[in-house]
Structures are given as structure tokens and as C-alpha cells.
Chains A and B, each alone.
Chain A
Amino acid sequence: MKTDPTVIEMQKKYGSRALVLAIGSGLLFLALGQKEICRGLVLGGVFSAVNFALMGQALRFRLSDNRKVAARRSLLSLLLRYALLAIPLVLAVQSDRFNFPATAVGLFMVQLVIMIEHGSRLIVGAVKH
């Protein structure tokens, strides 16, 4: 089974916007001389986008006629995604090159982009009315 093209489009849209937001805000901090915050935001943002892409793409591998196999694959996929999200956090906590709070904020970039998009729509709609 293939992933629906509209789903891939949505993942590309939010993933790329999350990266743009991470890099944009990172550059802003770089301009202010905060290299560690810049690196942390970009690192977290990259892993946030990859996690969101995996959420959808891994689904078709989880679908199976056998319920036990599907449950095993789902659990494995969940564990893999949490392990993936742990990588930037471990890197940030063990290395001075990355700011830990900025890396943690970076992990929420996809969620932030979704909220900003719908929040701005709501505000624009309210202003128009």
C-alpha cells in the first residue's frame, strides 16, 4: 500500500516550514552571537521534521493482515521514533556546542508551525468579520 500523495504533500509542507522556522530563528540568534542556541534550534528542528515524516511514512509498513505483526511493527515504530528524538537531546546535554533548551524547543517545530498556521487563520478570519 502506498501513502496517499496528499499526505506526502502535507508532510513536505509542514516539514519544510518547520526547517525554515528553525533555520530562520537560528540565524537570528547567530546574528546576536548565540551560536549554541542557533545550533540547538536547527538540530531540534531537523529531528522534529524527520519524526513527523516517519509518523506518516512508517504507517504503510505497519499495516498488515496479521494483527500481531501489525501490533509489533507499531510498537517498534514508536520506540524507534522516541529513540530518534532522544538523539539531539543526548547530544545537546553532553556537548557544549548545543544549547539544551533551544534543542528541546526545536523538537516542537512541526507542532509550532501547525499552531502558527491555524492560529493566524483564526486571527485573520476574526479580523475580516
Chain B
Amino acid sequence: MMDLDVQAWVKVAAFAGGGIAMGLGAVGAAIGEGYTAAQANLAVSRNPKISGDIFKNMLVGQAVAESASIFALVVAILLLFLDTGNPNMLKAAALFGAGVSMGFGAIGSGVGSGFPGGQACLGLSRQPAVSSKLTTNMLIGSAVCQTPAIFSMVVALMLLFMDFSNAPLHPTWAALVGAGLSTGLAAIGSGYGGGMAAGASAEGVARQPEAVGNITTVMLVGQAVAQTPSIFGLLVSFILMFKTFPESMQLQAAMALLSAGLCTGLGGIGPGVGNGMAAEGAVRWVARNVTHAADLMRTMLVGQAVSQSTAIYAMVVSLVLIFVL
């Protein structure tokens, strides 16, 4: 009877995780693709003569923006159909955590990767002659935007396939759910922020095609820094998954680990978006004033470092929750 209950709980967790993974995973990509299409409409109305080229660019941009939701689909199908082997309550927590990680983690990247697609369509209507440069810049920006979603997928797959059966149920269940929350939530801001920088980059290339090298460099540096909060999230997830916690039936021990994941996850959203804003500003103004690209990059990096500090505070509190309390 007890075995049956555990098996049922594992199925419940897998189905709930699968629903969360695909449900939330579809949100971001659909918004991102919709943004690209909206900007493509504006572009066609501005320059109807090249509507075919704009339409092609929109489709390519949307195809890449959809990647985050395909990651979510892969994880959701695994959760729904994979044979979980030896069922135990820790497996149930791990499967639920996997769904949470992938579902939340796909939102930011999905929305963010729509921005370069939209701006590239708009840029194409202004500067049809630089379509190749624009499409390449859009694809680079869009692809880098997917990184936080890939981090989330890595955590989800680790939670799905790692064997936690030797660890004590209490408080490890909370650590596994916390691991999913940490990377999943932190990826929202980084994905969205990276998209802001990439969108400004596509706009900048259309405005100043000869500055494409400087614009792309500032975009990539800005996106890399914007991804730091999701790396913090990944780090806390790894600690929560790999550290062995002593058995404790006290609820506060479990809540400390769950809160550690929540703290870095939620704490990473704002800095990710903020860093993206700083990068967006720098990239936009580099296109207008390329001679001062070095000054603009320095200002961006200092601004991002300060904006990053709140994510560091969140990570410090998470580490205190894991190692001290």
C-alpha cells in the first residue's frame, strides 16, 4: 500500500512538473514571437516593397525564438512519459523541481529572443541593403539569449536523471525543489535582459552598419554580464543538488533550503533585467556615437556591476541559509 502511494506521488509530481514546464515554457516564446511579428507588421507598412524579405527575416527570427519552448517541450515529454525506475519521494521532489526549473527558465529567453527579431525586421525596412549583417547580428543576439534557458534545461535534466535515493528524504526534498526554483527564476531576468541588448544591437546595425563590429562586441559583453544572475542561480542549484544534508525532521531545516533556492532565484530577476537595460543603453548609443565606444562600454560595465550587487546579496543570503542555518 505504501509502495503504491509513493508511486502515485511520483506520477503526480511528474505530471505537475510536466504541465508547469510546458505551460510556462510556452508563455515566453509566444510573447517573443508575437513581438517579432508586431514589429514585422510595422516594417511592412513602412516599406511594403520588401515585404517578402521582412517576412523571411521574421520567420527566421521566430524559429530561433521558439527554441526555449522546444527545450520546455523536451523536458515536459520526458516528465510525462519517462519510466522513473525505483520510485521514492525524493524522486517526486526532483521531478517537480525539474518542471519548475524548465518552465520558469524558458520565460525570459523566449521573450528576450523576440526583441532582436523584431528590431531586425524594423531595421530591414529602413536599410534593406544591410539585410545580411542584420540577420547575422539578430541570430547571434537571439542565440546568446537562449543561454539562461539552457542552464535551466541542464538543471532539469540533472534533476531528472541523477540518483538521489541514498540521501535522507528530510530535508533533501526541499533542496531539490529549491534547486529547480533557483536556476528557473534567475533565468527570467537574464534571458529578458539579454534580449534587450540584442534588440538594441539590431536597431544599431540598421542605423550605423559600418559600426557593426563595435555594436556586436558591446552587445556580447553586455549580454555576458546580464547572464551573471542566472550563473549565480546555477551555482546555488548545484550546491543544493550535490551537497549532502544531514537528516532532520525539523521543518525549518527544509524551509532554509527551499528559501535558499527562492532567494537567489527571485533575487536574480531584477539584476538580470537591470543589466540588460544598461547593456541596451550602451549598445544603442554606441551606434550613434561609435568614437566613444570605449567610454560607453566602461560606463555600462560599472553600471552593471552596481546593479549586480543585489544579486550578490541574494546569493550571500542563500549561502548562509545553506551552510550556516
Q: Are A82 and B67 in contact (CB under 8 A)?
A: no
A26 to chain B, nearest CB (A): 19
Q: Give 1 or 0 for each of A90-129: 1 = CB within 8 Å of chain B CB.
A: 1001100000100010011011001100100110000000
Q: Are B70 and A6 in contact (CB under 8 A)?
A: no
Interchain CA distance A78-B33 in the complex, whole Å = 11
B26 in the interface (beta carbon within 8 A): yes
B154 to chain A, nearest CB (A): 13
Residues of A close to B62: CB separation below 8 A = 55
For the complex, would chain B's binding face be called helix, strand, loop or mixed by DSSP majority? helix
A89 in the interface (beta carbon within 8 A): yes
In chain B, residues 13-54, which have Cβ atoms closer than 8 Å to a Cβ of chain A?
A: 22, 26, 30, 51-53
Q: With A4-B51, A111-B64 given, is the CB distance from A89 to B74 under 8 Å?
A: yes
Interchain CA distance A5-B81 in the complex, whole Å = 41
Residues of B close to A29: CB separation below 8 A = none
Please tell me the size bucket of the interface on A.
20 to 34
Partner of A107, one of B70, B78, B143: B70
A7 in the interface (beta carbon within 8 A): yes
Residue among B26, B56, B64, B78 with the highest chain A CB neighbour number at 10 A: B56
Q: Are A93 and B143 in contact (CB under 8 A)?
A: no
Q: Are A115 and B78 in contact (CB under 8 A)?
A: no
Q: Are A55 and B51 in contact (CB under 8 A)?
A: no
A10 in the interface (beta carbon within 8 A): yes
Q: Give 1 or 0 for each of A1-44: 1 = CB within 8 Å of chain B CB.
A: 00011110011000000000000000000000000000000000
B residues apposed to A, CB below 8 Å: 22, 26, 30, 51-53, 55-56, 59-60, 62-64, 67, 69-70, 73-74, 77-78, 81-82, 132, 135-136, 139-140, 143
Could you jot down 7 A-B contacts, CB within 8 Å? A4-B52, A10-B56, A89-B77, A93-B81, A100-B78, A104-B74, A114-B139
